[in-house]
Structure 1
């Protein structure tokens, strides 16, 4: 059962990677090119020639981007399937499609949106190279804490539901997650090192494109995985309900 779900999760991840690649190519690449252009202007002004990349920008923006999103989609799809196997049937009386959709929405909020609100993505030349270690560390800490607090909220939700009812219980669990993560976000250090003359439009478009790409991935993942597992369930129920053929 788990192996079957894992395969379907990876297939759904592949399905999600394709529209994400199209979105990133059409929306994200122009903003990325704007950051690279700013970096080139700085290099020309300082009289330092930029190093030639080992892989050309043409390959990076097409094949490289597609392969990276494919690997990411397969990995996220596999993890998504494992989480689905753990929660299906334990979150109310939701159908497979509804469970997948709720799980995808929750995954996007917990894994992408909340860490992004504290540490949004930046295009090239908008951050200092010598702070990459600190920025990566604080982002990963925010991500791990977001997942941990979400797991704690999910654990507390059934107990709150038993005491306060379905609606109030889930609202209290979600509110607890929001309050704790707001405190975490306030305590973690803020990274504000974007140059004052960096194009604001490039920064905004890049962050908007990054968030949009992840929204496409998680949205398609939830819908496609839900369709796959719901189709399997329908076929299984049809075989079970089929009358025996007399010999």
Structure 2
């Protein structure tokens, strides 16, 4: 059963990656092109070396490869998380459990680090600090996953004493408090040039958020339907349910 759900999770992740790819190409790429044009107009004759891959290849084949591989990989991981969550989240049906896992993944893997370290277009950021910025983002992402998991465990432990509603409120409050402390303790990163268009920056970040929202929404709907069919197969066909006729008695 786990293997069947894992395969379907990867397939749903691949299909969700197609949806995210379309959103990324339609909303994200125009903002990337505008950011690249801004960077080139402010280069003042300083060459950046020859590009290993052209922008055309980056915005087509490179983008498709990255998004589809990412969708397939996170689809498999989310399917395993679904297997763990199924039956541990009350009486939720497979579709509702898949939606809950997708929402938790969007919040923990993306929204929590995004609000602290939002996405920036290519021309924003110092190349010398890319390693530090990446490490901080990954750390915030891991903290988001761990804190969300801890909040879920806390909420489940409080249900027998306070009921489902108050336990959920207490767990959500504890999660917000822990995330707020992490935001306050971790260093900030602000490397946006003063003359960079604020509208372009805002639209780029909204496009990045839309890509992730499209990915996890599509995955939750697709995988929920596939998981429902695996865990709750439909009734057998009428021909299969009809017992074979009794043999006619022999006449002597």
Write the distance in 1 (CA, Å) between the matches of 2:119 and 2:204: 8
The structural deviation recorded for 1:240 is 11
User: 1:143 — aligned with what?
Assistant: 141
Match of 2:62 in 1: 64
What pairs up with 1:156-175 in 2 under 5 angstroms? Answer: 156-175=154-173
Task: Note if contact 1:40-1:50 (Cα within 8 Å) is conserved in structure 2.
Answer: no
Aligned partner of 1:96 in structure 2 is 94
1:93 alignment partner, SS class: coil
- CA shift, 1:55, in A, is 1.4
Task: Give the structure with higher Rg (CA).
Answer: 2
- The answer to which of 209-218 and 152-161 deviates more is 152-161
Are residues 29 and 149 of structure 1, via their aligned partners in 2, closer, same or farther at CA, if it must alter by over 3 Å?
same
Tell me, yes or no, if the aligned pair for 1:127 and 1:193 is still in contact at 8 Å: yes
After TM superposition, give the deviation of residue 199 of structure 1 in Å: 1.3
The corresponding residue for 1:120 is 118
> Cα deviations across residues 65-101 of structure 1 (Å, max 9, x unaligned)?
1111110000000000000000101101001001101
Greater than 3 Å deviation, 4+ residue runs: 239-244
Structure 1 counterpart of 2:225: 227
Pairing 1:185–2:183 present? yes
How far does residue 53 in structure 1 lie from its aligned partner after superposition? 1.4
Q: Which structure has greater helix proportion?
A: 1
**Hey, what's the Cα distance between the residues in 1 that align with 2:169 and 2:18?**
35
1:133-162, CA deviations, whole angstroms, 9 ceiling, x for partnerless residues?
111111111111111111111111111111
Whole-angstrom distance in 2 between the partners of 1:173 and 1:204? 32
Structure 2 match to 1:14: 14
The aligned length equals 244
2:55 pairs with 1:53: no
Give the structure 1 partner of residue 38 of structure 2: 38
In structure 2, distance between residues paired with 1:240 and 1:4: 22
Q: Which structure 2 segments of 5+ residues have no match?
A: 246-252
Distance of 1:36 and 1:50 partners within structure 2: 12
Q: Which ranges of structure 1 fall in alignment gaps of 5 or more residues?
A: none
After superposing the two structures, state which structure 1 stretch, 225-234 or 8-17, moved more.
225-234
